[in-house]
Chains A and B, each alone.
Chain A
C-alpha cells in the first residue's frame, strides 16, 4: 500500500502567488516524521521542511510552510510568494517510528510562470 500519496503530477503557479502541493500519508504509528524535498532540474535533492507527528504547530521555514492536518493524514506544502527558482520537482516523504525507513511520494512538478 502506498505510504505517501501525491496526487498532483504537475502544477503551475504565477510568480509571486502562493501554491499548495498536496500530500497524504498512511500510517498507524503514533510517532512519525514528515518531510518535503525539492529537486531542481540540476538533480540534487534538497531538504526543505520537517513536521513531527507530535508537533502542535505547523512547521515554517521562510517561504515554506507545512499545513499539517493529523486527523486527515495530510501534510501539504505551501510556498508563498513563488519565485522562478521554485520551479522543480517536490517530494513528500515520511519517516516511520523506527527512524530508519523513509517512504517517498511520486513527486509533483511545479512550474512558476513569469
Chain B
C-alpha cells in the first residue's frame, strides 16, 4: 500500500528566503507525481506534474524534482513571498493508473513579511 509522507509538517520563513519542501513515498512504482497548493477554505490548485520518466519540472519560481528509485520528491520555492503562504500537498499516482492519487498530509507554509 502506497504511503506518502511530507516533511516538515509546517514551515515559517521570512520573505525572500529560498525553501525546500520534501515528499517521500514508499512504493517507487509510480506513474507520476503532482504538487498542489491549497489555500484555506479553497480547493486544490495544481502546481507541477512530473511524469515517472522525468527528473524535474519548473514553473516560475517553483522547481520540483523526482527521484523515483529513492522514493523522493522536493519542491523548491525561490525568493518566497507572503502570497506563497498555503498548504502544499504532494500526491502520487500508481503505475497501474486509473488516476487514484495518494496524498501526503501536506506542509503548511507561512511566509511573513
A binds B: no
Residues of A participating in the B interface, judged by any CB pair closer than 8 Å:
none
